[in-house]
């Protein structure tokens, strides 16, 4: 009998061996308090490093909305969306959640090398904690987003509560993206160097600052692409629920839901497959 067979006979397992997917998810769920506390501690630590603390969480997207909104408002001229200031604020604030999840997820394993190599726990906990941290950061940003909308003349309505299920789907989507980026970075460390460029390209091509129906009206085939664009449709739903002069196709819920589920499932399987590799020195 070989050593491996002897170990299997007595229920012994190799250190760092990848568990079954069901056990992997179970182990991660058992550490949900650790994940939340880690996310909360990182939010507090991040705010303590800045003189203005949590105010910067809101100031950064506010400045971006002002700068990009002014530039692209001028460039688009009559083709810009109605109620353009609110349009831009919603786009910039929600897109910030996506980019921080993508960039933070990419560094969640490689940026915690000492923790990964010294303790035994499902590495899934780290990207989940990162997205949780970004979600906690998003909460005050959402409150300010609605305040800005009110100041700019938006009328409160019951559809505002629809942002809750939308954010749930958006968080699922971002989680899948974070898991994919986390593993890719383990294999290709230079991936973090091109992520800012990827984020910038997505920022300019996801409808954060423009309405595809208005700006691309002469290219129906391009509008058809945006009809299945997960980020664009997420922003369209949010604007349709919040703004006075915005509508969205109910089909967008199916687009966002489908992309969210598919991205999470793929990201989870892709990340889990490399579980044994995350604790290695190189």
Q: Please give the pLDDT value at position 229.
A: 93
CA angle 65, 66, 70 (to 5 degrees): 110
More confident residue, 172 or 139: 172
More confident residue, 13 or 165: 165
Confidence of residue 262 (pLDDT cuts 50, 70, 90): very high
Round to whole Å and give the CA distance between 254 and 249: 10
Confidence of residue 280 (pLDDT cuts 50, 70, 90): low
Instruction: Over range 154-176, report the average pLDDT.
Output: 93
Q: Please give the pLDDT value at position 7.
A: 42
Confidence of residue 237 (pLDDT cuts 50, 70, 90): very high
Q: Please give the pLDDT value at position 213.
A: 82
Q: Please give the pLDDT value at position 247.
A: 82
Question: Looking at the predicted structure, is the pLDDT value of residue 279 above 70?
Answer: no
Q: Please give the pLDDT value at position 1.
A: 54
Q: Please give the pLDDT value at position 133.
A: 92
Instruction: Over range 199-216, report the average pLDDT.
Output: 86
Question: Looking at the predicted structure, is the pLDDT value of residue 10 above 50?
Answer: no
Q: The tokens of 230 are what?
A: 């997960």
Instruction: Over range 41-54, report the average pLDDT.
Output: 69
Instruction: Over range 61-86, report the average pLDDT.
Output: 76
Q: The tokens of 279 are what?
A: 């604790």
Question: Looking at the predicted structure, is the pLDDT value of residue 256 above 90?
Answer: yes
Q: Please give the pLDDT value at position 2.
A: 54
Instruction: Over range 228-257, report the average pLDDT.
Output: 91
More confident residue, 156 or 116: 156
The mean pLDDT of the chain is 84
Instruction: Over range 187-214, report the average pLDDT.
Output: 88
Q: Give 126-174 as a DSSP string.
A: HHHHHHHHHHHHHHHHHHHHHHHHHHTTPPP-GGGGGHHHHHHHHHHHH
Confidence of residue 16 (pLDDT cuts 50, 70, 90): low
Give, in order, the Cα–Cα distances in Å from 153 to each of 30, 192, 204.
Answer: 46, 40, 26
State whether the Cα torsion 114-115-120-121 is positive or negative.
negative
97-111 per-position pLDDT tens digit: 999 999 999 998 888
């Amino acid at each position: 009998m070989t050593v491996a067979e002897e170990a299997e006979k007595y229920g012994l397992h190799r250190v760092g061996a990848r568990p079954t997917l069901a056990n992997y998810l179970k182990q991660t769920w058992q550490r949900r308090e650790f994940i939340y506390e880690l996310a909360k501690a990182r939010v507090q630590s991040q705010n303590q490093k800045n003189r203005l603390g949590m105010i910067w969480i809101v100031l950064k997207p506010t400045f971006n909305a002002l700068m990009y909104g002014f530039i692209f408002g001028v460039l688009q001229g009559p083709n810009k969306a109605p109620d353009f200031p609110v349009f831009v604020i919603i786009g910039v604030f929600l897109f910030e959640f996506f980019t921080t999840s993508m960039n933070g997820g990419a560094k969640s394993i490689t940026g915690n090398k000492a923790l990964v190599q010294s303790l035994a726990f499902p590495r899934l906990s780290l990207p989940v904690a990162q997205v949780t941290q970004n979600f906690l950061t998003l909460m005050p940003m959402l409150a300010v987003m609605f305040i800005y909308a009110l100041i700019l003349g938006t009328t409160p309505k019951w559809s505002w509560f629809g942002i809750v299920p939308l954010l749930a789907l958006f968080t699922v989507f971002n989680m899948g993206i974070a898991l994919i980026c986390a593993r890719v970075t383990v294999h290709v460390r230079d991936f973090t160097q091109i992520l800012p460029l990827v984020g910038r390209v997505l920022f300019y091509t996801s409808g954060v600052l423009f309405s595809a129906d208005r700006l691309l009206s002469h290219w129906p085939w391009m509008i058809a692409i945006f009809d299945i664009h997960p980020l664009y449709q997420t922003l369209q739903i949010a604007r349709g629920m919040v703004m006075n002069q915005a509508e969205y196709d109910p089909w967008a819920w199916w687009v966002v839901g489908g992309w969210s589920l598919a991205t999470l499932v793929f990201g989870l399987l892709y990340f889990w497959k490399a579980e044994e590799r995350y604790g290695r020195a190189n």
